[in-house]
Structure 1
């Protein structure tokens, strides 16, 4: 192939990566903006992820019909190789950008590392075996889940804060800077920025993991894509039977320049691996003699070299998958009926929820009050980074059903606004040792005033009691009407006590959609 032709294809590939990455982030950020009311395309990328199709089927025995769209890129991989990794995947594009940024680093080790290349296939075996046992681990390393979670929980809040602070500083200027910033900020507030500054309990940990994965490109280019990505491993397994092929012609001088910018440190001259090639066309551009040819051939024998895992490693990975699936079940949360966490409205029963949830964080991104937070150990080991509700951070807005509209796997079922208003997340319980109307003997109506239920789930009962000064007074003590309370958490969120709230949101009487 002529270098000029290769350069043209390379430019088209870069443009495609930019478009898909921009589209991914725009849909994600737009979903949390003030103006967004519908979420028709927010979860589009997930439906083209065949790994999630397989894992959800193995873990739950069923799959959403829309996930069959993921068979399209899988079929195209049989023709064009791992084009999805090189042309479409947003996280792949980001890793490629950082690999390019670090391209002159002396720390990067050159050459194909076949032992490391096998690692992602072992990861794939672990997540597949775990899914068969009913434990969904794919969301931790699936590129769409990982990038969405990292962007929603760590990147977006940081960028949101920086933009607000920059605009505030610029607004003090009366010159051309302020005039230029105001329309940009106005557009951003409507389309990209969140309504309020988000704060997440796991933002530092999730953000550091993202930074670590990006920094690893210093060591090996596209480190995550080549050595850790289970979706890339799945595409690699299919690509080895594909038609796309690179080979050198008689013009080759064995200079090995084609390996200079290869995404997996290989080359068509030597160490060519169909399962690892991401069809970036860098080699066709770099070759000084136009010796790299692109073809579509029916493979006589599949390229087994990089995927020959060995019996011991394969068995070890399978056993690891069984252990990883079994360990969370041995944790006390899996046996105990007692739990203090709440799930978002529309959540299916817990066992099915854990099997469906891909830890993508989209529900956290769209929640306007910051109520939905990523769990650490509150929901057990199996529930790490799944969504839970934190009344100290926010509350469930009565006129909002956004979180029920964006879950790609329906771990949170679709609910209309009217259905969501009647959905019981939990129930509020008055702490008589802390509530001002009980513990201190004076009137407080903050929780009752904020209760969004039209009939008021929080009411008063007038009694004679001793106040904190030792005087007998009439006080309107609050009480909760269980049949009306939906567990929105606003009462706990607005309670004026600064040590511990006088009313607590609990999971008692929680409704799970699949159980009704």
Structure 2
């Protein structure tokens, strides 16, 4: 039996979700380490994660989002549940004009979060971050409330949090604006736009492949049966 790439990816993400749920204080969030340095002014707090994850983003793009983030797999389940209920194989699109403006919200939240962390001397982003709710289920009341709200939003708009609010995605997006390995079409592309119909981040792949918004789920690549879209240098 042939095992699909997407099945393997989902198993990896589900495994990380399980790990986050049982872990009491271990987190791979790069923003947590950035905040720690801002709060302590101590470069001894500089951990390998601050090298590894940015390096991965610069070279490969937002692989963290596509393979590790526990919130990402929850959001995938959410919008796929809606698609299954509606018996649809095409990911619903949000108003393009509004979408193109809202994607910048997460960059604003990133800047505001880091500023407030520095100003008030506390882990502001971690306090409200719904992703942190999964770490041993030890999140704050605010983070669990936001988690619920974002899940509701994710039912109506695929990857709602990841598209418009995630500060981690914003930071990794800035680092992966021009990655070494890219998503790109080739001569086999028939411009059927099936890749765009399968993209949960609503990226205009054919006309404007926005690498910083791509979460490296590779659903566009696996959707194309003609090999018209590839991931590489």
Structure 1 and Structure 2 fold alike (TM over 0.5): yes
RMSD: 2.7
Residue 89 (1) aligns with residue 69 (2): yes
1:246 corresponding residue in structure 2: 183
Does residue 14 in structure 1 map to residue 1 in structure 2? Answer: no
Of the three residues 68, 72, 78, the one matched with 2:52 is 72
Structure 1 residue 17, shift from structure 2 partner:
0.5
Alpha-carbon shift at residue 143 of structure 1 (Å): 4.8
Segment drifting more, 57-66 vs 72-81? 57-66
Q: Report how many residues are paired.
A: 225
Aligned residue in 2 for 1:127: 113
**Cα deviation, residue 108, structure 1:** 4.8
Of 77, 100, 111 in structure 2, the residue corresponding to residue 114 of structure 1 is 100
SS class of match (1:126):
helix
Bigger relative contact order, structure 1 or 2 (CA pairs below 8 A, ≥6 apart)? 2
* From 67, 73, 81, the counterpart of 1:101: 81
Cα distance change, pair 141–236 in 1 and its aligned pair in 2 (3 A): farther
Q: Is structure 2 residue 206 aligned with structure 1 residue 273?
A: no
Counting only pairs closer than 5 Å after superposition, residues 100-179 of structure 1 correspond to structure 2 as 100-103=80-83, 108-110=92-94, 112=96, 113-136=99-122, 137-148=124-135, 151-152=137-138
Evaluate the alpha carbon distance shift between residue 153 and residue 281 of structure 1 in structure 2; reply closer, same or farther with a 3 A threshold.
closer
Higher strand share: 1
Deviation at 1:256, TM superposition (A): 1.0
Contact 1:141–1:229 under 8 Å retained in 2 = no
Per the TM alignment, residue 225 of structure 1 is displaced from its structure 2 partner at its CA by 1.2
Matched-pair contact (CA < 8 Å) for 1:261–1:283: yes
Please give the TM-score of this superposition, normalised by the length of structure 2: 0.84
Please state how far the C-alpha of 1:23 moved relative to its aligned partner: 1.6
2:29 matched to 1:43? no
Q: Which digits, 9 at most, give the CA deviation of each residue in 1:248-278, with x for residues without a partner?
A: 1122222111112212111432332100111
Distance 1:62 1:101 in 2: 45
> Which of 222, 227, 230 is 2:167 aligned to?
230
Shift of residue 115, structure 1, vs aligned partner: 0.7
Question: 2:195·2:220 contact (CA, 8 Å) conserved in 1?
Answer: yes
Asked which structure has the greater CA Rg, the reply is 1
Cα displacement (A) at 1:246: 1.0
Q: Is the 8 A contact 2:106 2:165 kept in 1?
A: yes
Distance 1:238 1:206 in 2: 26
Residue aligned with 1:102, SS: helix
- Does the CA contact (< 8 Å) of 2:186 and 2:229 recur in 1? yes
Mapped to 2, the partners of 1:153 and 1:294 lie a distance apart of: 36
Residue ranges of structure 2 left out of the alignment (5+ in a row): none
Give a deviation string over 1:221-243, Cα, whole Å, max 9, x none: 11111111111100001011321
| Separation of aligned partners in 2, 1:43 and 1:66 | 18
Pairing of 1:426-445 with structure 2 (within 5 A): none
Task: Go from structure 1 to structure 2 and tell me whether the alpha carbon gap of 1:293 and 1:206 turns closer, same or farther (over 3 Å shift).
Answer: closer
Check 1:111–1:87 CA distance in 2 against 1; reply closer, same or farther (3 A cut): farther
Q: 2-side partners of 1:253 and 1:64: how far apart?
A: 53
**Deviation string, structure 1 residues 34-66 (Cα, Å, up to 9, x no partner):** xxxxxxxx4232xx3221122222233236637
Determine if contact 1:259/1:267 at 8 Å carries over to the other structure: yes
The change in CA–CA distance for 1:225 and 1:266 in structure 2 (over 3 A counts) is same
TM-score scaled by structure 1? 0.40
- 8 Å contact kept, 1:49–1:70: no
Distance 2:104 2:127 in 1: 19
CA distance in 2: counterparts of 1:90 and 1:50, whole angstroms: 14
Q: 1:275 to 1:134 in 2, by over 3 A?
A: same
